[in-house]
Structure 1
Amino acid sequence: MSNDIRWLVESKRRPNIPPIHPGDRVKVSVKAKEGEKERTQIFHGVIIRMRKGGNNASFTVRQVAYGIGVERTFFLNSPYVEKIEVVQHGDVRRARLFYLRGLSSKATRAKLKAKTKVVGQELLVGEEISIEDQPELLEVQPEPEEGEKAPE
């Protein structure tokens, strides 16, 4: 692709699209026109397919509503897509998650592992520690010089 075409395609791309991948749970806010009125409709679901292609990039979201699977394909740069919000990042090993069509919603949740980072969990598990209750935490111990033994 020449630089002129690449520049033209990149200039038309929407800047507020978050990075999304198959397996992510998303909320897609879509403009729905009903007669003269226009309202925002939110579609929750799991991304089962991504199709890249510059301005023609699209993604398919699957939602199970009242026991019936509903799939909807959206264009990334569509003016009808107001906002894409990533609720949870999924950890999957496939690019196309069509196998989720045959699973129940509970089995789907079991198949899709959530990417979660546990930071400082050891601080959350135990009981709360107050610095005022333990004055030795407030005292600053001088560092031992070379050759000296550290106080125990």
Structure 2
Amino acid sequence: MDYEKIKASVQICGINLWECSHTMEKMLTKFTKKNPPLVKSGDTVKVHIKVKEGNKERVQIFEGLVIAVKHGAGLNGTFTVRKISLGVGVERIFPLHSPRIVKVERVKQSKVRRSKLYFMRDLRGKNARLKELNREPQVWEEKDAEEELARIEAEKAKEAEAAAAKKAAEEAELEAKVKAVAGDRIHEDAEEVKEVEQGSSPDEKKAESTEEKADKAAGEESN
């Protein structure tokens, strides 16, 4: 059987379906994680997400209850995590194979009878508690996840050191300015003391010059 002829013949509207299928397969292989987080509804998880802010990158942890898992474990798979923040319910939907997810930790697992726990949105306090199962915590992460986390932490430490060095330089500059101002003030005080020791203070000299001007003006008027 000539596969080249079959490849060329499988076309619709000028599009080679054989090549398209292989291209899709390559894309799926490229973006599919080898160790995706196989979480279930009722799991309490910590999702470590890479967040980019301008030129900076950091890891944000979102911890909450998995209330839904959709579309299986394929590339379209997602899971919804819900938590209570300052009395307000917050939900986030994460793609299973998102490159932004560095690591997923399952803290605990609860006993549930439904695959979708949307009823948790209407429960508060003790009513929102689920029966916990005795299961060991589990972690899902990619091969280079630890290196990625270490790199981000190193960048954060480097930025902190740069900020500390900048602050120290600003404080040193401010201290130098304060010393310069204090030195000028000391010099002025020394000049005043010297003038006082010589017999007259600046205020006295000023008063004397004012009196001399007044006497001179009075003499001119009398003439």
TM-score by length of 2: 0.46
Q: Which has the higher strand share?
A: 1
Residue 218 of structure 2 corresponds to which residue in structure 1? Answer: none
Find the counterpart in structure 2 of residue 69 from structure 1. Answer: 89
1:79 aligns with 2:99: yes
Equivalent residue number for residue 48 of structure 1: 67
Gaps of 5+ in 2: 1-20, 136-223
- Is the CA contact (8 Å cut-off) linking 2:37 and 2:96 kept in structure 1? no
User: Could you tell me how far 1:15 is from its partner in structure 2?
Assistant: 2.2
State how far apart, in whole Å, the 2-side matches of 1:16 and 1:68 are. Answer: 33
Larger radius of gyration: 2
Identical aligned pairs, as a percentage? Answer: 43
Corresponding residue of 1:150:
none
Pairwise CA distance, 1:14: 1.2
Alpha carbons of structure 1 residues 80 and 108: separation in structure 2 relative to 1, 3 Å: same
Instruction: Report the Cα distance in structure 1 between the residues aligned to 2:51 and 2:132, rounded to whole angstroms.
Output: 31
Q: Going by fraction, where is helix more abundant, 1 or 2?
A: 2
- Distance in 1 (CA, whole Å) between partners of 2:131 and 2:30 is 36
Q: 1:28 maps to what in 2?
A: 47
Q: Give the letter for the 1:92 counterpart.
A: V
1:115 aligns with 2:123: no
- Higher RCO structure, 1 or 2 (CA under 8 Å, sep 6+): 1
Task: Give the one of 32, 35, 45 matched to 1:13.
Answer: 32
| Distance change (3 Å), C-alpha of 1:38 and 1:105 | farther
The DSSP-based 3-state class of the residue aligned with 1:22 is: coil
Q: TM-score, normalised by structure 1?
A: 0.66
Please list every run of 5 or more consecutive structure 1 residues that lacks an aligned counterpart in the other structure: 118-152
Q: Following the alignment from structure 1 to structure 2, what is the Cα–Cα distance between the partners of residues 74 and 48?
A: 12
